[in-house]
Amino acid sequence: MIRSLPMPDVTVPLKIGTRGSPLAVAQAVETRNLLMAAHGLPEDRFEIVVISTTADRVQDRALKEIGGKGLFTKEIEEALLAGAIDLAVHCVKDMAVEEPAGLISDCHLEREDPRDVFLSTGWATLADLPEGAVLGTSSMRRRAQALHLRPDLQVVNFRGNVQTRLRKLGEGVAAATFLALAGLNRLGMREHAKTIISADEMLPAVGQGALVIQRRREDALAETLTAPLHHRTTEVQIACERTFLATLEGSCETPIAGLAEFEGDLLRFRGEILTPDGSGRLTVETRGAPADAAEMGEAMARDLLSRAPADFFDWRRPVQA
């Protein structure tokens, strides 16, 4: 529950930066509404600013070919540093491991459901797909996980926002694809989530379902505004998962999955790394005190690194155009 505080002195509209996809805009609107509720501010005290990012503009190539996941946030972070916007709303899973100097992401919104959804034009599950079927995904993680379970599948690059990927699926570009349940929920499109994949079958991406508000480190007003929105439970989960990712030096080119969940007073973490072609897979699992979340993530990453052959991530399976 968002606690209401005395109204801050916001005399000009605060600018919230976001990508332009329908999901990104919906997330910015959600953030604006939470800020309004927390501080009793009217809607006209906020302005949502859509910023075009390289990842959104270049849709015909895989992310690894144009610079990696940081391209989802680069232009937005530059606008924040330049003072063109006051806050930025990011999906945690889209953020690079290292944050630019001068910026801080210390407000985590309550996490949505982190699981993946399987979507197909005629089949209920990945196991049901006919031999050699075409699977569409731009995620190295989902690609590797799917090929680990079904090495016979053909995988094609399937970039674009939720609506674009649903359209491509309907046009027969692929027989099936995956989406994040959190995105469907935030877009009010849960009716498409007919087959939700258990985390026991397919671990999600690190940070999936979590949003973070980024600000300039020295901006006291932004800190005051965002503080009551911060969700401590989500922060602990993300601290574990992101430290796991950072220790592995993960990127969009590296199939890594990880999920931290509370079980009573303990934090349970499960993680895995895969070869890009899905032929190899190493897993870890641990439980510990929430105060040790970051240390848990680092320890599990080092465990995997100690067991992985030096060339573990060097395998490649060609992706059809």
106: amino acid identity, one letter = D
The whole-angstrom separation of Cα 138 and Cα 160 is 9
User: 209: helix, coil or strand?
Assistant: coil
Residues known to be catalytic: 94
The secondary structure of residue 279, as a DSSP letter, is S
Return the C-alpha torsion angle 166, 172, 175, 181, nearest 10: 0
- Among residues 4, 19, 17, 306, the alpha carbon closest in space to that of 160 is found at 19
Rg from Cα positions in the chain: 20
Element of type H or E holding 24: helix 22-39
List, edge to edge, every strand of the sheet that includes 87-91: 46-50, 14-18, 87-91, 211-216, 103-108
What number of residues does the chain have?
321
Q: Enumerate the β-bridge partners of residue 202.
A: none
